[in-house]
Chain A
Amino acid sequence: QSALTQSPSASGSPGQSVTISCTGTSNDVGRYNYVSWYQQHPGKAPKLMIYEVTQRPSGVPDRFSGSKSGNTASLTVSGLQAEDEANYYCSSYAGSNNVVFGGGTKLTVL
C-alpha cells in the first residue's frame, strides 16, 4: 500500500492550463481504470472532480479533465481561475478492495 507520487506544487496564471501528474505502479494506476481526483480547499472536505480516469461528476466544470498513460494519471485544469487554487489529490484502486492516495499537489494561481 505505497502512496502514489505527486509533485508537491504546480502553478499557472489565470486563463492558462496546468497539468498535475500522479504516478503509481502496474498494481494500481497501471492496472485499473479507477483513478480519481479530489480538490480540497483549506479547512474544507475534499471534493470529487474526476473519477474512473476521465469521468466528471455533474456540476464539475469541463475545464477539468483527466487522462492516464501507463502507470501515470494526469489532471488538466484549463482556463485557470482564482478559485482553482487548492490542494489536489489523486487516488487509485489497488486491488482487493483497497484504495491508495497520492501525497497531494498544491496548485497556485499566480
Chain B
Amino acid sequence: EVQLLDSGGGLVQPGESLRLSCAASGFTFSSYAMNWVRQAPGKGLEWVSGINTSGGGTNYADSVKGRFTISRDNSKDTLYLHMNSLRADDTAIYYCVKDQRTSSRGNFDYWGQGTLVTVSS
C-alpha cells in the first residue's frame, strides 16, 4: 500500500524558516517524480514545487521561487521542502504528492495527509 507521511508543519513567525518532510513507502520511491502542493485555508490547490527521480531537476511556482528548496533522499525514501523567508500568504496545508511519471506532469496519483504551516506573528 502506498503511503506518504507528511510532517514538519507548525506555527512560525514571518521571516522564519521551516523544513517539511515526507516519508514514502509502498512503492519504488526513486522511480517517480515527487511534488509539494499547498492549499490555503478555504482556498484551492496550488502546485508549489516538483523534483525528478534523480533529484537533479527541480522546479518551483513563481510564488516560492528563491525562497523554497525541494530535495529528496532516495536512500531514505524521503522528500523534503526547505522553506525560508516565510510570509503570511504561505499559510496553508502542504501535501506531499507522487507523480505517475519520472518528471512532474501533474499525474498526481497519491497524496499525503497534509501538514499545516501557519505563518503569523
Option from B59, B95, B114 in Cβ contact (under 8 Å) with A96? B59
Binds A, one of B16-24, B42-50, B74-82, B83-91: B42-50
How many chain B residues sit at the interface, stated as a range, is 20 to 34
Q: Decide: B108 and A36 in contact? CB cutoff 8 A.
A: yes
Option from A51, A96, A104 in Cβ contact (under 8 Å) with B45? A104
Interface centre among A51, A52, A96 (most CB of B within 10 A): A51
Q: Decide: A97 and B108 in contact? CB cutoff 8 A.
A: no
Q: Decide: B111 and A99 in contact? CB cutoff 8 A.
A: no
Among residues of B, the one whose C-beta sits closest to the C-beta of A36 is B106
Interface SS majority for chain A: strand
Q: How far is the CB of A82 from chain B (nearest CB, A)?
A: 23
A contact residues, total (Cβ < 8 Å): 27
Given A96-B59, A97-B59, residue A48 in contact with residue B45 (CB < 8 A): no
A-B contacts, 10 of them at CB < 8 A, read: A1-B61, A34-B107, A35-B106, A40-B45, A46-B95, A51-B107, A91-B47, A91-B106, A93-B106, A97-B104
